[in-house]
């Protein structure tokens, strides 16, 4: 008996992920706006984009990761096991990209891992 994973898109929507098409692949994306406040009000704000990438490997994905205007951090969560990959754009002045794995250990992806695991469903195939 073999098992295949399916993704509960309604569960991902509860975590603000939306389906997103990229080069014929289905990804899930959410945009977060983070704000830093002080005594005098807002000091800074920046965007963070999270992508759940169920059917691409890191080597296939890396050439397509580019800086996005007004986005400071891009996080990509892939299936499998591996060590986090960091990519900076213009020495970090135009943002950063991080690629993590579902079975990885970096704390930067713990929230995404938990959400993705809640959305995974196993289907039985013979």
Q: What pLDDT is recorded for position 4?
A: 60
CA atoms within 13 A on the CB side of 107: 0
Residue identified by tokens 């975590």 is 15
Please name the residues in contact with 73: beta carbons below 8 A apart, sequence gap of 6 or more. Answer: 46, 47, 48, 49, 95, 96, 97, 98
Q: What pLDDT is recorded for position 2?
A: 40
* Per-residue pLDDT band at 105 (split at 50, 70, 90): confident
- 38 forms beta bridges with 41
The residue ranking higher by pLDDT, 40 or 18, is 18
């Amino acid at each position: 008996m073999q098992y295949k994973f399916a993704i509960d898109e309604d569960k991902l929507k509860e975590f603000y992920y939306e389906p997103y098409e990229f080069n014929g692949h289905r990804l899930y994306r959410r945009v977060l706006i983070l704000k830093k406040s002080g005594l005098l009000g807002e000091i800074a704000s920046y965007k963070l984009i999270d992508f759940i990438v169920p059917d691409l490997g890191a080597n296939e994905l890396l050439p397509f990761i580019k800086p996005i205007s007004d986005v400071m951090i891009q996080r990509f969560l892939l299936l499998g096991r591996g060590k986090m990959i960091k990519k900076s754009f213009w020495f970090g002045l135009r943002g950063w990209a991080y690629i993590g794995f579902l079975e990885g250990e970096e704390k930067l992806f713990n929230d995404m891992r938990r959400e993705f695991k809640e959305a995974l469903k196993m289907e039985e195939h013979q």
